[in-house]
Amino acid sequence: MTGRLQGKATIITGAGSGIGRASALLFAREGARVLIADRAEDGLNETLRLIADAGHAASALTIDAGSEPDVARLVDTAIHEFGRIDVVYANAGISGGLTPLFDVTVDMFAEILRINLIGPFLAIQKAAPHMINQGGGSIVCTASVAGLRANAGGAPYSASKAGVISLVQTSANALIGTGVRVNAICPGLIETGMTKPIFDHARARGTDSKIGQLNPLGRAGAPNEIAAMALFLASDESSYVNGQAFPVDGGLSSTHPFARPRT
């Protein structure tokens, strides 16, 4: 049985840890040719090691996902190595923490937008022409439930992820008739390097059993659960899915806030 991405040339950014690493491992296992990217070289090397330990191969490039020259170099490298690009997963992002609104500086806001929103824009802009020339492709971007409603992240992070959702919608329509699909994933609370302080704080206080209590599943998510959605959107199984943003959040975004009954 062939893998769901057998032979597909893929790029994954933010692959040095968390969701990006889980996606790189899954994509490689499903037969993809994988080029991973991150600005953390140590993390990239660890992801490469894990892929190799699983019996697969990948290549890596250290880049800043919000830098136009770096993203252009990443796309050029993929074309040089693979001859085409079938999938781009623009996953790299930063949180900025939960800095109160009036303490957020313009520089902080701009840097979060640069990585989280300009990064996916650059990935789409640089990769889509190659996909158009070859007759199609799939671009997946990591947004967030924080881009859907308030109180799931700080103001700059939430604004950046709302921007990603809009970017996906407008890009899908800008690429009408090309065969290039653009979709987003909106993770809920997932245990990654970005969210580690939240989990560490809860465990230190002995309140880790309450992590994820606001969603109907009553738990946090794992990176591999987001990677599974990325795999679907990257694969031909989602060939009629375009311009959408999919929450993967245990049901968090399905409700308005409410008080749970005491048990």
Question: Which of 42-51, 86-95, 130-139, 189-198 comes out lowest in average pLDDT?
Answer: 189-198
Question: Per-residue pLDDT for 89 more than 60?
Answer: yes
HSE, side-chain direction, 13 A CA sphere, residue 163? 17
Would you say residue 263 lies in a domain? no
Q: What is the pLDDT of residue 254?
A: 92
Which CATH number does the domain housing residue 115 bear?
Answer: 3.40.50.720
pLDDT of residue 258: 64
> To the nearest 5 percent, what fractions of the chain are helix, strand and coil?
50, 15, 35
- In the set 157, 212, 220, 231, the catalytic residue is 157
Average pLDDT rounded to a whole number, residues 90-111: 95
| Mean pLDDT value across residues 176-197 | 88
Domain assignment present for residue 4? The answer is no
Residue 198 pLDDT:
64
The parent domain of residue 153 ranges over 9-248
- Domains held by the chain: number: 1
The position carrying tokens 């109160």 is 100
Concerning whether 157 is annotated as a catalytic residue, the answer is yes
Report if residue 1 sits inside a domain.
no
Instruction: Let me know if residue 262 belongs to a domain.
Output: no
Segment 38-66, tens digit of pLDDT? 999 999 999 999 999 999 999 999 999 99
Residue 137 lies in a domain: yes
pLDDT at 196: 62
Pick 190 or 143 by higher pLDDT. 143
Segment 198-218 mean pLDDT = 71
Q: Considering only 182-191, 223-232, 254-263, which range has the smallest mean pLDDT?
A: 254-263
Tens digits of residue pLDDT in 231-251 = 999 999 999 999 999 999 999
Per-residue model confidence as pLDDT tens digits over 135-158: 999 999 999 999 999 988 999 999
Q: Within a 10 A sphere around the Cβ of 188, how many other Cβ atoms?
A: 23
Residue 211's pLDDT is 72
pTM of the predicted model as reported, rounded to 2 decimal places: 0.93
Residue 258: inside a domain, yes or no?
no
Instruction: Kindly state the tokens that stand for 222.
Output: 């794992």
Residue 46 makes CB contacts below 8 A (sequence gap 6+) with 16, 21
Residue 255, domain member (yes or no): no
Dump strand ranges (E) for the chain: 9-13, 33-38, 58-62, 87-90, 137-142, 180-187, 245-248
Percent of the chain with pLDDT over 70: 90
